[in-house]
Amino acid sequence: MLYDPERAPRLMSEEQEEQVHGHAMRILEEIGLDVLHDQGRALLADAGLKVEGDRVYFDRGFVMEQVAKAPRTFPLHARNPVNTVEVGGGTPLWMGVGGPPFFSDLDAGRRDGSLEGHDTIIKLTQTASPLNCAQTGACEPVKMPVHTRHLDMEYSTIRWSDLPYTTYGTSGPKARDGIEMARIAHGGDTGDRTLLMGVVNSLSPLIWDFRMVDAMIAWAESNQATIVTPFLLGGATAPVSVAGGLAQQVAEALSGIAIAQTVRPGAPCLYGSFFQATDMRTGAPALGPPESIFGVFAGAQLARRYGLPFRGGGGLCSSNVVDAQAAAEAAFTLWATMLAGTDVVLHAAGWLEGGLTASLEKFALDVELLEQLQRHQRGVGFSDEEFAFDALKEVGPGGLWLAADHTMQHFKEWQYISPLFVTQDFTTWNAAGAEDTASRANRRWKQLLASYEDPGIDSDIDAELIAFMDRRKAEPPPEEEH
């Protein structure tokens, strides 16, 4: 195995890792975090923590005791049991982009996100072999009502894919809707099984806002998995120094996990890292530079320290178009993601424009990069047939391997042949139309979409999902959703 988590590169020495931990504990105890949720603060106060107004001071002993209750691995159940995965058990979960308000392809250009665009990305995720998990919110259908469109996106994920998935939960009510739809999709009473993962982002620096805590409580109560991910931009929401940012990340991530464990000990939690730089020329996130790579490696190392599955990395880029910058930035981050032994990868395919756009050509490019990285992961074989001694005797000195039976029998199996990248000489390439990579990626995503196979859904379950959505859409939005 080329990318083995047990031998992943360590950004920090043991002493440096201890320094990060020590500074994080000082942040928790001496500065504290604002928890803007009455029930959440009450739970922490009842657990013995010091609370002053919105500010909660997290005792290090309490935090580490709570974090230790979270499981190192847990099964994430798909509605098709064949696709169920043990998170943290050695099989990484790779999923497409999530969250962009815009959608693009070379045919129609950049435009507002739509439910049709969401369906397309879910279908591509179901089809693309490197991806084994779906992400609700693949693109926001921005013209649909903001307080109900999560229902349509959740249905899109459930209906058009039978992979495990990450839910759309930007508030407690939306998280609870997702939980109920997962329960219906799995046939009713699901006991304590974990059917979905949800993401919470601290409001950095050092705030847990009402919606995120409310979603975290909802998922913990029902034993669903929470991916606790501080959203850190060096120089904007975190210190410009990597060391300072890592200490803040640990404080925010572990405090969130402690809240979830206070709600329900043993509820699945992941240590999440979204650690990027801020381009001081524009104020925009810089995705793919060295700081991004440091964040992936350090995040994975810290997650292992705390005995938690790790979410990080992805096919991230700042580029506005599918060009050399987009390819380089995505290649850097995906390579680091794989090498670090990451357990859960959001935004592995389709991310463009700093996450503002879901691009179908970028999706195809990222899938190609993942195909090759996963081919690296499988390594090489050393069978007698692969050593090819008898074949070499037959070819002999000065012979032509290109014409050998051994080559014809095995080249498709033992050599990677890209469906996207080409190796033609210039004259041949030019005569064939001089297609660039983006043009070939346009053709490639269309091929993937044409090969989509509908996994189907039980008609009674489908009807129950639609009835639930109709009922919820007819109700007034929760107060926080106005």
Dist. CA 134–CA 160, nearest whole Å: 10
Q: What is the pLDDT of residues 296-333, one digit of tens each?
A: 999 999 999 999 999 999 999 999 999 999 999 999 99
Q: What is the pLDDT of residues 13-61, one digit of tens each?
A: 999 999 999 999 999 999 999 999 999 999 999 999 999 999 999 999 9
Distance of CA 110 to the CA centre of its chain: 23
Task: Report, as an integer, the average pLDDT of 244-249.
Answer: 98
Are 111 and 104 spatial neighbours (Cβ–Cβ below 8 Å)?
A: yes
Judged by DSSP in three states, 48 sits in coil
Are 194 and 77 spatial neighbours (Cβ–Cβ below 8 Å)?
A: yes
> At residue 402, what is the residue type?
L
Which of 63, 72, 85, 184 lies closest to 472, judged by CA? Answer: 184
Q: What is the pLDDT of residues 153-162, one digit of tens each?
A: 999 999 999 9
More confident residue, 260 or 377: 260
In percent, the amount of the chain with pLDDT more than 70 equals 99
More confident residue, 454 or 1: 454
Are 271 and 251 spatial neighbours (Cβ–Cβ below 8 Å)?
A: no
pLDDT tier at 365, thresholds 50, 70, 90 = very high
Distances in Å between the alpha carbon of 194 and those of 72, 221, 277, 434?
A: 14, 11, 34, 49
**Which residues are bridge partners to 330 per DSSP?**
none
How does strand 102-105 pair with strand 109-112? Answer: antiparallel
pLDDT tier at 67, thresholds 50, 70, 90 = very high
pLDDT tier at 1, thresholds 50, 70, 90 = low
How is 266-286 classified by DSSP, letter by letter? T--EEEE-EEEEE-TTTS-EE
Task: Report, as an integer, the average pLDDT of 237-249.
Answer: 97
**Does position 79 have pLDDT exceeding 50, yes or no?**
yes
**Does position 400 have pLDDT exceeding 70, yes or no?**
yes
Task: Report, as an integer, the average pLDDT of 250-268.
Answer: 98
CATH code of the region 67-378:
3.20.20.480
| pLDDT for the residue numbered 169 | 87
| pLDDT for the residue numbered 407 | 96
How is 8-46 classified by DSSP, letter by letter? ---SS-HHHHHHHHHHHHHIIIII-EEE--HHHHHHHHH
Under DSSP, the state recorded for 349 is E
Task: Report, as an integer, the average pLDDT of 102-108.
Answer: 98
If phi > 0 it is left, if psi is from -120 to 50 it is alpha, else beta; for residue 311 that is beta
Residue spans per domain, the chain: 67-378
**Does position 8 have pLDDT exceeding 90, yes or no?**
no
Range of weakest confidence among 2-16, 55-69, 322-336, 461-475? 2-16
* Axis-axis angle for helices 115-127, 360-378 (nearest 10): 20
Task: Report, as an integer, the average pLDDT of 3-20.
Answer: 90
For the chain, the C-alpha Rg in angstroms (whole number) is 24
**Does position 2 have pLDDT exceeding 80, yes or no?**
no
Are 378 and 124 spatial neighbours (Cβ–Cβ below 8 Å)?
A: no
**Does position 447 have pLDDT exceeding 90, yes or no?**
yes
| pLDDT for the residue numbered 482 | 39
Task: Report, as an integer, the average pLDDT of 121-144.
Answer: 98
Are 315 and 349 spatial neighbours (Cβ–Cβ below 8 Å)?
A: yes
Positive or negative torsion for Cα 10, 16, 17, 20: negative
Q: Where are the beta strands (DSSP E) in 327-366?
A: 344-349, 351-352, 357-359
pLDDT tier at 480, thresholds 50, 70, 90 = low
Dist. CA 385–CA 225, nearest whole Å: 45
Distance of CA 402 to the CA centre of its chain: 42
**Does position 417 have pLDDT exceeding 60, yes or no?**
yes
| pLDDT for the residue numbered 47 | 98
